[in-house]
C-alpha cells in the first residue's frame, strides 16, 4: 500500500507541475507530442520499478527523471505544434511564430493588437495563409474568431509583458493581399516599415508612444482611413500618385511639409487637388506631440 501511495503521489506531483507550467505559458501543447514520442520510456521506468520494488528511492528518481525528460524535450527539442481546424484555420506555435490559414469565405480581416515596443516590417503575401507573424523572439497571446457568417476574421494579439522579451523586438508581419484589412495597433514605442502598397487596407489606427515610421499606402480600395496618435515620432507617409488625399495634422511643436505641397486647406484638412474625382481616396488624421511628419509621393 505504501509503494502504491508513492507512485500516486509522484503522478499527482507531475500533474500539478505540468498544469502550473501551462498556466504560466511556459509549456504549450507540444508536451503531448513529446508524450506521444517518448511513452516507451514509461515502460522502462515501470520495468525498473518492478526490479527495485522494495527501493522507494529508485522508484521516485526514475519517475522524476521521466517527467523531466518529457518537459525538456517539449521545451527545447520538439517540432512546432500544429492544429488544423475543419474551417481551414491553422494555428502554429514555433518560438513566437503565429500563422492562420485562409478560409475561402473570408473577405475581410481585422487585427486588434495590444503590444509593447516593436519595430514592424509589414508586407503583402499571396500564399495560403491569411496572416503570419514572426514576433522576433517575444511571446504573445493570439486568437482568431470568425464573424458575419465566416466572411470576416478577427485576430487579437496581446503581449505577455510579464515574461522576459527576446533581444530582437522586430515583428515581421505578412498579410494576405486578397483580403481587405483593418489594423488597430496599441503599442509602446513603434517603428519600422509598413508597406501596404499591395494590400487592400481600409483602416489603419496606430496609438503609440514614440518611434520612427515609414508608411507606404496603396490605391487598392475606394477609401483608406488612417489615424495616428503618437508622442515623439518621425513619420514619413508615402502616397500613390493617383490617390485623392485629405490630411489633418495636429502637431503641437512638430514640423511637417504639408504647407509646401500647395494643397488647399478645407475644414482643417489639407486636400489634394484631385480629391473629389479620384477613384481612390485616402483620409489621414495625425495627432503628434513632438517630431516630424512628411508626405512623399512615390
Q: Mean pLDDT in runs of 10 for the chain (298 residues)?
A: 63 74 61 74 84 79 83 63 43 64 91 86 88 80 88 88 50 93 87 93 92 93 96 91 95 83 90 95 93 90
Judge contact between 218 and 196, C-beta under 8 A: yes
Residue 281's beta-bridge partner residues? 223, 244
Judge contact between 263 and 244, C-beta under 8 A: no
Helix, strand or coil, per DSSP, at residue 141: strand
Residue 117 confidence (pLDDT)? 78
Judge contact between 109 and 152, C-beta under 8 A: yes
Output Rg (C-alpha) for the chain, integer angstroms.
26
Cell numbers standing for residue 129: 495563409
- Between CA 86 and CA 90 the distance in angstroms is 9
Helix, strand or coil, per DSSP, at residue 134: strand
Residue 201 confidence (pLDDT)? 97
Phi, psi of 35 (to 5 degrees): -60, -40
Judge contact between 121 and 170, C-beta under 8 A: yes
User: Cα 13–17–21 angle (5° rounding)?
Assistant: 170
Cell numbers standing for residue 71: 518537459
Residue 54 confidence (pLDDT)? 77
Residue 40 confidence (pLDDT)? 84
Judge contact between 245 and 266, C-beta under 8 A: no
* H helices present in the chain, as ranges: 2-23, 30-38, 40-51, 56-76
Residue 206 confidence (pLDDT)? 93
pTM: 0.68
- Between CA 97 and CA 114 the distance in angstroms is 17
72 vs 30, 58, 60, CA distance in Å? Answer: 11, 21, 18
User: Cα 6–12–13 angle (5° rounding)?
Assistant: 85
Count of CB atoms situated within 10 Å of the CB of 175 = 25
Residue 163 confidence (pLDDT)? 42
Amino acid at each position: 500500500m505504501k509503494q502504491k501511495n508513492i507512485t500516486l503521489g509522484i503522478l499527482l506531483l507531475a500533474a500539478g507541475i505540468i498544469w502550473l507550467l501551462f498556466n504560466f505559458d511556459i509549456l504549450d501543447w507540444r508536451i503531448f507530442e513529446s508524450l506521444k514520442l517518448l511513452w516507451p520510456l514509461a515502460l522502462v521506468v515501470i520495468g525498473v520499478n518492478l526490479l527495485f520494488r522494495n527501493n522507494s528511492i529508485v522508484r521516485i528518481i526514475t519517475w522524476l527523471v521521466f517527467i523531466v525528460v518529457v518537459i525538456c524535450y517539449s521545451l527545447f527539442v520538439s517540432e512546432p505544434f500544429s492544429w488544423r481546424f475543419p474551417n481551414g484555420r491553422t494555428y502554429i506555435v514555433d518560438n513566437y511564430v503565429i500563422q492562420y490559414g485562409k478560409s475561402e469565405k473570408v473577405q475581410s480581416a481585422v487585427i486588434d493588437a495590444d503590444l509593447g515596443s516593436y519595430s514592424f516590417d509589414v508586407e503583402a503575401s499571396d500564399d495560403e495563409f491569411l496572416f503570419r507573424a514572426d514576433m522576433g523572439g517575444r511571446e504573445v497571446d493570439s486568437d482568431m474568431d470568425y464573424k458575419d457568417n465566416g466572411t470576416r476574421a478577427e485576430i487579437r494579439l496581446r503581449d505577455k509583458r510579464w515574461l522576459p522579451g527576446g533581444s530582437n523586438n522586430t515583428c515581421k508581419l505578412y498579410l494576405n493581399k486578397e483580403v481587405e484589412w483593418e489594423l488597430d495597433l496599441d503599442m509602446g514605442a513603434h517603428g519600422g516599415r509598413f508597406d501596404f502598397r499591395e494590400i487592400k487596407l481600409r483602416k489603419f489606427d496606430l496609438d503609440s508612444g514614440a518611434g520612427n515610421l515609414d508608411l507606404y499606402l496603396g490605391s487598392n480600395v475606394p477609401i483608406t482611413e488612417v489615424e495616428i496618435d503618437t508622442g515623439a515620432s518621425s513619420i514619413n507617409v508615402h502616397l500613390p500618385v493617383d490617390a485623392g488625399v485629405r490630411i489633418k495634422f495636429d502637431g503641437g511643436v512638430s514640423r511637417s511639409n504639408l504647407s509646401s505641397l500647395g494643397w488647399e486647406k478645407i475644414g482643417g484638412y489639407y486636400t489634394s487637388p484631385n480629391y473629389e474625382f479620384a477613384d481612390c481616396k485616402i483620409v489621414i488624421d495625425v495627432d503628434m506631440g513632438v517630431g516630424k511628419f512628411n508626405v512623399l509621393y512615390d
